[in-house]
Amino acid sequence: MTIRSKINKEILFAKKIHVFFEKISTLGSGKKSLPALRICSKLPANSFIYMSTSIQKIAILTSGGEAPGMNACIRALVRTGIYYGFEMWGVTRGYDGLIKGDFKKMDLRSVSNIINRGGTILKTARSEEFRTEGGMEKAYQQLQERGINAMVVVGGDGSFKGAYHFSNKYDVAVIGLPGTIDNDLYGTDYTIGYDTATNTVVDAIDKIRDTADAHNRLFFIEVMGRDAGYIALNAGIAAGCEDILIPETKTSIDDLVVSLKKGRANRKTSGLVIVAEGDEEGGAYEVARKVKEQFDGYEMKVTILGHIQRGGSPSCFDRVLASRLGVAAIEGLKDGMSKVMAGIINNKVVYTPLTQAAKLHSDMDDDLYRISKILSI
């Protein structure tokens, strides 16, 4: 099966929105104005523009799986909010904390010395209760009690779906920021945490290569990526892996065995195969088992990198990305935006409707996958 490459009408429309926002960002003083935003009449009513000008307090929460760079993002949000005169509040443990009223007022000292830290000082959690009408109502009441009518949600597609439905139901402006190591959100070239996670994987594979070479072993290395193979593909190329198995392509154990046998015939004494956890064959252990049934040219080992990929100090790239997006979120709220995700495309800040960011996924680079095959001979 070839990599997904067809772009449907929704994606084409979202791309037009990106271009539109890039154009209006150059108007006048360079700030996005409400009159210009109203030009987007093709979108459903209330789909992504929040017309209220009364925002004074903004809540920040991190939701779903943590990603390196979330703290840098929180820092940028708090500092930018204070710079523009907003009162900033942090919500602990994502939507669960929103429901339970776990809020704390944030000031400049609240975000001191966190830019280099992994994880999230606001913690994160998944909340089944927030999916219910009652849960959303409790969350809204908590915001009402504190006079908060705007939120920034840092997370992935599941977090954005919740934010969108919440904003539709209640008079609360919401902007999403892409915080996930999977790099699979539509509307941005990179998500916060992806660069750090990929470098963590490359560093781990480099070390595994040493022991593979010392013992003449074939290692199957499983990385995160339930629905997307960005980490596996890029780390696999960077680490010189013999093969890369990702959800976007059909895995053929027979072809993999042929490739490994060819390498052995070319006097390769060890090997590395990287497997995204969402690969259709069932992960690294299952792939290793099936290969072993057909090929015994190497002693085989399996390594699952697991949650090490979510931790660690964020890279320079992720710190800058998180800082840019934090500023973009506050400035977007200030200028009347809502129900959008701020992202980076072609090194420019763009805003994508949350409905698109939560529903669509960016396409895998066909050419990059082709290159991986050429280099693995």
- Residue 247 to residue 234: CA distance in whole angstroms: 14
- Residue 345 to residue 31: CA distance in whole angstroms: 18
Domains with residue ranges and CATH for the chain: 9-193+314-359 (3.40.50.450), 195-310 (3.40.50.460)
SS (H, E, C) 232-261: HHHHHHHCCCCEEECCCCCCCHHHHHHHHH
Per-residue pLDDT of the chain (377 residues; tens, 9 = 90+): 443 333 334 444 444 444 444 444 443 333 333 332 332 333 444 455 554 558 999 999 999 899 999 999 999 999 999 999 999 999 999 999 999 999 999 999 999 999 999 999 999 988 899 999 999 999 999 999 999 999 999 999 889 999 999 999 998 999 999 999 999 999 999 999 999 999 999 999 999 999 999 999 999 999 998 888 999 999 999 999 999 999 888 878 998 999 898 888 888 889 999 999 987 778 899 999 999 999 988 899 999 999 999 999 999 999 999 999 999 999 999 999 999 999 999 999 999 999 898 887 777 788 898 999 899 88
pLDDT of res. 268: 87
pLDDT of res. 45: 42
Q: Up-side HSE of residue 116: CA atoms within 13 Å toward CB? A: 2
- Residue 299 to residue 306: CA distance in whole angstroms: 23
- Residue 183 to residue 156: CA distance in whole angstroms: 9
Q: Return the bridge partners of 218, or none.
A: 271, 300
Contact 88, 82 (CB under 8 A): yes
Give me the DSSP letters along 312-353: SPPPHHHHHHHHHHHHHHHHHHHTTB-SEEEEEETTEEEEEE
- Residue 107 to residue 362: CA distance in whole angstroms: 36
- Burial string for 176-215 (b: 16+ CB within 10 Å, else e) reads bbbbbbbbbbbbbbbbbbbbbbbbbbbebbeebbeebeee
pLDDT of res. 20: 46
- Consecutive H or E run containing 152: strand 150-155
Burial of 368 (0-12, 13-18, 19+ CB in 10 A): middle
pLDDT of res. 181: 96
- What contacts 45, CB < 8 A, 6 or more positions away? none
Q: Find the farthest-apart pair of alpha carbons in the chain and give their distance in angstroms, rounded.
A: 71
Give catalytic residues, as residue numbers.
Answer: 182
pLDDT of res. 319: 98
pLDDT of res. 36: 28
Task: Look up residue 310 and give its amino acid.
Answer: R
CA distances from 286 to 33, 176, 249 (A): 54, 37, 17
| pTM, entire model | 0.85
- What contacts 206, CB < 8 A, 6 or more positions away? 239
Q: Return the bridge partners of 221, or none.
A: 274, 303
